[in-house]
Amino acid sequence: MRYEGDIYSPHIAGDDYVLQCTIGCSHNQCTFCYMYKNKQYRVRALPEILTDINLAKAAYGDVKKVFLADGDAISMPAKDLLTILDYLYASFPGLSYVGTYASAGSVLNKSPAELRDLQQHGLTEAHLGVESGDEQILYAIRKGVSYAQMVQAGRLLKQADIHLFVTAILGLAGKPDKSVDHAKHTARICNEIQPDYLGLLTILVQAGTPIYKQVQAGGFIVPDDPAILAEMRLLLQGLELEHCGFTSIHPSNCISLEGWLPEDKDRLLQTLADIIDNRDWSRLRRRATEKV
Ligand code: SF4
């Protein structure tokens, strides 16, 4: 397949066919994000994208799942996305999933009717990086939106019936005394959005990112595993989700937990309590320190 630069898709969608619709990220400002720093954002020409679909059909036959890359494919004009979705479903009769990353700013640039159209033409899932519910942290990491705008973006996707996968990042506070606020406010924003799925990651500091420079200068402190676990526990305690998948299965995390909320909340908290209260760090695994 034809790809420009490094390609990322959610860990959970690792076996999908990835179709590059945009190059880079339309925002590309988040201080922790290493994925597209060396790419100049642009929307690929529609004929190129449709040709890629033809190439994928010739190479793979039918595919069931497609992920639209790069960082923020929902930033494309809605009419082009509709053309791509229609072409994908016409090309792959077994297709049942089309997902995309969706930055909050790009979601807010779409009307509710456009988002609904995208859903009706088969955009099944959006991955929204909420990262934190703390207003100061959102500002510090240059997320580009406020707490209220993030909530609005999440709710717009939900109202359009697009399955909403939200991610938040543990350890993003940068200072030990901000960890409690980060955890509590992140739980609060998740409660307001009510995502269908919540994935927790842990901050990964990569060379070349603004946050790397902050770490070098002593302005950002990366928490150790016990502090990350305490933050995870506080966040989980604060979640009041009506029906939401939960996962911390990601190489950046020191522990892999999975379940459904609210049903599995007590079990998940008990697992964390067993480790934290007994200081049983042997049950943790080494966090990834490289790009994942
Ligand atoms: S919006 Fe997402 S892809 Fe873009 S810079 Fe931020 S974290 Fe990275």
Residue 3's pLDDT is: 93
Lowest mean pLDDT among 33-37, 188-192, 201-205: 33-37
The answer to whether the beta carbons of residues 195 and 166 sit under 8 Å apart is yes
Sequence ranges of the domains in the chain? 11-278
Whole-number Å distance between alpha carbons of 8 and 285: 23
Residue 11's pLDDT is: 64
Q: Which residue's C-alpha comes closest to atom 8 of ligand 1?
A: 33
Query: Is any ligand 1 atom within 6 A of the Cβ of residue 103?
Result: yes
Whole-number Å distance between alpha carbons of 133 and 237: 15
Question: pLDDT exceeding 70 applies to what percent of the chain?
Answer: 97
Q: Which residue's C-alpha comes closest to atom 3 of ligand 1?
A: 71
Residues 94-117: pLDDT tens digits?
999 999 999 999 999 999 999 999
pLDDT at 14 over 70: no
Mean pLDDT of the region 117-134: 98
pLDDT at 13 over 70: no
The answer to whether the beta carbons of residues 281 and 225 sit under 8 Å apart is yes
pLDDT at 150 over 90: yes
Band of residue 292 on the pLDDT scale cut at 50, 70, 90: low
| Closest to 15 in 3D by CA, of 89, 65, 50 | 65
| Closest to 115 in 3D by CA, of 170, 153, 172 | 153
Residue 127, beta-bridge partner list: 101, 165
Q: Does domain 11-278 have CATH number 3.40.50.10860?
A: no
**Whole-number average pLDDT of the chain:** 95
Where does 76-141 have alpha helices with state H?
Answer: 78-91, 104-108, 112-120, 135-140
Distance from the alpha carbon of residue 73 to the mean position of ligand 1, in angstroms: 11
Residues 159-182: pLDDT tens digits?
999 999 999 999 999 999 999 999
Cα dihedral value 27, 31, 32, 34, nearest 10: 60
State both tokens at 189: 């924003």
3-state DSSP helix/strand/coil percent for the chain, to nearest 5? 40, 15, 40
C-alpha angle 103-105-108 in degrees, rounded to nearest 5:
110
Question: pLDDT exceeding 90 applies to what percent of the chain?
Answer: 90
Side chain identity, residue 285: R
Atom of ligand 1 nearest to the CA of 29: 5
Residues 226-262: pLDDT tens digits?
999 999 999 999 999 999 999 999 999 999 999 999 9
pLDDT at 278 over 80: yes
pLDDT at 158 over 60: yes
Q: Which residue's C-alpha comes closest to atom 5 of ligand 1?
A: 28
Distance from the alpha carbon of residue 282 to the mean position of ligand 1, in angstroms: 33
The answer to whether the beta carbons of residues 202 and 254 sit under 8 Å apart is yes
Distance from the alpha carbon of residue 224 to the mean position of ligand 1, in angstroms: 24
Query: Is any ligand 1 atom within 6 A of the Cβ of residue 150?
Result: no
Mean pLDDT of the region 193-208: 96
Residues 38-87: pLDDT tens digits?
899 999 999 999 999 999 999 999 999 999 999 999 999 999 999 999 99
Q: How far apart are the first and last CA of the chain?
A: 21
Residue 1's pLDDT is: 80
| Closest to 136 in 3D by CA, of 100, 186, 98 | 186
Residue 289's pLDDT is: 73
| Closest to 107 in 3D by CA, of 181, 159, 65, 43 | 159
